[in-house]
Amino acid sequence: MYRSSNPVLRTQAFAGQMVGQEQMTVNGTINKILTLFMCILFGALVTWAVAESNPGLAILLTGVGGFGGFIMCLVIVFSRPAQPGTMMGIYAILEGFFLGGFTLIMESMYPGIAMQAGMGTISVFGVMFMIYRFEIIKPTERFMIGVSSAMGAVFLIYLLSFFLGFAGMQIPFLHSSGPVGILISLIFIGIAALMLIVDFAVIEAGVKNKAPASMEWWGAFGLTITLIWVYIEMVRLISKLRNN
């Protein structure tokens, strides 16, 4: 069975079902993905609505969403609830708060960037799905290890950048709009895109191995996290390009 480099898509969780349990299906997973994205949209709409009358509260919601979403993600991953739907829904709403505020801020600086980043994210998803479906890239064990290492490196870079920010320092070129900064964003988008291959593979493995239906939530959760990452990196890339 496939091994995922996405921490929320651990292969062991997708083992065969117990007798009498409902099985994981592709349609069920798609429904869970749509549910999480509706929660994200709800959270974003709340932030947008609040921003019109109380910008300060919208900024607070953005911060609470970003920090709260991160904490909720960790809680979900490490507690591994048997029925994770409610917690994942809360996570998605928090991410909606953050993404709504983040998008508003970036849209005010770069009009039209939300639509551009959204279309870019959809394009990346479509291309990577076709690449996976036609087996242009196969999720081998070596591939999984490589993507896992790259994803871990990106996480550490962003974490280090966050803490350095409190000291008034930053990692060279990470936020730069020059050629190196743009190249870094392209690399990060590439890694995030490869994570989609991993997500597709693990979801398919769960279906083939008749994992319990509750694993549909985990498949949806992992894919949602990756798509959020792609969107954020796409916004960062477009903003850098438009600064030139």
Domain ranges of the chain: 11-243
Could you report the per-residue pLDDT of 124-152, keeping only the tens digit for each? 999 999 999 999 999 998 998 899 889 98
Please tell me the predicted confidence (pLDDT) of residue 206: 93
The answer to whether the beta carbons of residues 190 and 234 sit under 8 Å apart is: no
Per-residue pLDDT reduced to its tens digit, 78-136: 999 989 999 999 999 999 999 999 999 999 999 999 999 999 999 999 999 999 999 99
Mean pLDDT of 165-185: 89
Which residue matches tokens 């998605």? Answer: 92
pLDDT value for 1 = 43
How much of the chain exceeds pLDDT 70, in percent?
A: 92
- How does 69-85 read in b/e, with b if 16+ C-beta sit within 10 Å? beebbeebbeeeeeebb
Sign of CA dihedral 198, 204, 208, 209: positive
Q: Which residue has better confidence, 42 or 169?
A: 42
- Report the mean per-residue pLDDT for the chain: 91
* C-alpha separations of 229 from 2, 132, 178, 190, 192 in Å: 22, 19, 22, 11, 7
* DSSP conformation class of 15: P
